[in-house]
Structure 1
Amino acid sequence: MTAALDYPVSLAVEDFVPVVCTTVGVLFLRRVTGTPGTIAAAALIGAGGFAKATAKLVVALDGPDLIWLRSALFPLLTLGFALLYLELTRNPGISRTRAAITAAVIGACAATALLVADVLPMLVSTTIFATLTAVRLINLARARGDTLAAVLFGAQIAVFFVLGPLGARADQTVTLQWIEQLTNTAGQAAFLLGAIRLSRALR
């Protein structure tokens, strides 16, 4: 994304949709975890998504490319998904060990990011914790006999891995970005529906 690209406002606005879907989905998971930490996870994930989407909107409105704002995406997503994973796997016997390992992974990726002056290592940590979270949600859905919810969570993480190679392409045309964003919206909508189903199963 650069200011030189003819980046329509409609494309920038649409980028807020998957952010809302994911954030609301995590809030529904509060019924699954029963812990307030899930709300903090939703706030972190939402803040990361809104930061990146806002940076896109500023560029679309012929404003400056706010690198610091769009660079907040992966650090915030890392913290959000890591916290969500810990809340979903809370267990008195092993929570401290899991939390220590989680902190070590985040610390290592953050230190590497600072060393190479690039947020890419934070993408690695985001991928790790988003994947662990998805696996946990799929297992919870299967344990409750909700195959559809499991498929929905699987679709969301599959989209996450598909978007990586697409986003890494140098020829980021408007058409390609529409494909990326609509694919992302579909994946996060699947996550939201899965979270709603899982939360209702616990009523």
Structure 2
Amino acid sequence: MSAAVDYPVSLAVEDFVPVLLTTVGVLLLRHSVPERRAVLAAAVLIGCGGAAKATAKLLAATGHGDHAWLRGMLFPLLTLGFGLLCLILMRQGGRVPLWLRILVPGLIAVCTAGAVLSGDPIVFLVSTTVFATLAGIRLIGTARRRGDIVAANLFGLQLLVFFILGSLASRPDQTVALQWGEQLSNTVAQAAFAYAAWRLATASQHPATDPTQETR
């Protein structure tokens, strides 16, 4: 199939929307944690990874060739971004748990070796999934502790769609209709993530006067 058939221009352009929503959502998390510069770095890595894949789609759709190196940047950059975000969110009492300090660099190293040996960056999907899952679970827990069930459910929705899309993306018969379904679902999920992050940011800037509300 030609690139134009695989990636209509409209489909390629829409792919930038969930990337923007995810990046904005991560940036909003800066208001919920003290490590704002680290969150900014995570947002840049995640945003660049998604933008690289979307740009590759757009170039293919407009007849400018298949740039495998751009597509291949997606999961390595997502791994670094979500790995960093995971370390930030899981910090407790100013310290990151020892098991996580071992897991993040260790898994990145293993996936890097696997990608080099196999010649395929898709290996980084494993580390991306692990780090994104840990970060999502942490965000769900944080929202619940703050009594924001809406945000907790939205973070849970985003995580559920992440797993569903991961299985759909592995299917070989990627029709245009299927890709539209995947991208629109991803857009809804990332919009939910961004809104949930905004709710956490708003709560952090305007904390409740009753401290018992934080644990309800």
TM-score by length of 2: 0.90
Larger CA deviation: 82-91 vs 125-134? 82-91
**Percent identical residues:** 57
**Paired position in structure 1 for 2:176:** 174
Question: Structure 2: which 5+ runs fail to align?
Answer: 206-216
1:64 is paired with a residue of what secondary structure? coil
**Paired position in structure 2 for 1:13:** 13
Q: How far apart are residue 98 of structure 1 and its match?
A: 2.5
How far apart in 1 are the matches of 2:96 and 2:84?
A: 15
**Paired position in structure 1 for 2:66:** 65
Report matched runs for 1:36-115 at 5 Å: 36-91=37-92, 92-95=94-97, 98-115=100-117
How far apart in 2 are the matches of 1:141 and 1:121?
A: 31
Does the CA contact (< 8 Å) of 1:12 and 1:57 recur in 2?
Answer: yes
Q: Which amino acid aligns with 1:20?
A: L
How far apart in 2 are the matches of 1:18 and 1:64?
A: 23
Map Cα deviations across residues 94-140 of structure 1 (whole Å, 9 max, x no partner). Answer: 45653232101111111111111112220000000000000000000
2:5 is paired with a residue of what secondary structure? coil
Does the CA contact (< 8 Å) of 1:2 and 1:65 recur in 2?
Answer: no
How far apart in 1 are the matches of 2:67 and 2:78?
A: 18
Corresponding position: 1:29 with 2:29: yes
Does the CA contact (< 8 Å) of 1:18 and 1:185 recur in 2?
Answer: yes
How far apart in 2 are the matches of 1:70 and 1:127?
A: 18
Map Cα deviations across residues 12-63 of structure 1 (whole Å, 9 max, x no partner). Answer: 0000000000000000000111211000000000000000000000001011
Corresponding position: 1:151 with 2:153: yes
Does the CA contact (< 8 Å) of 1:78 and 1:126 recur in 2?
Answer: yes
Does the CA contact (< 8 Å) of 2:140 and 2:155 recur in 1?
Answer: yes
Q: Which has the larger radius of gyration?
A: 2
How far apart in 1 are the matches of 2:152 and 2:51?
A: 27
Q: Which amino acid aligns with 1:128?
A: V
Map Cα deviations across residues 60-100 of structure 1 (whole Å, 9 max, x no partner). Answer: 10111000001000000000001011111223344565323
Question: Structure 1: which 5+ runs fail to align?
Answer: none
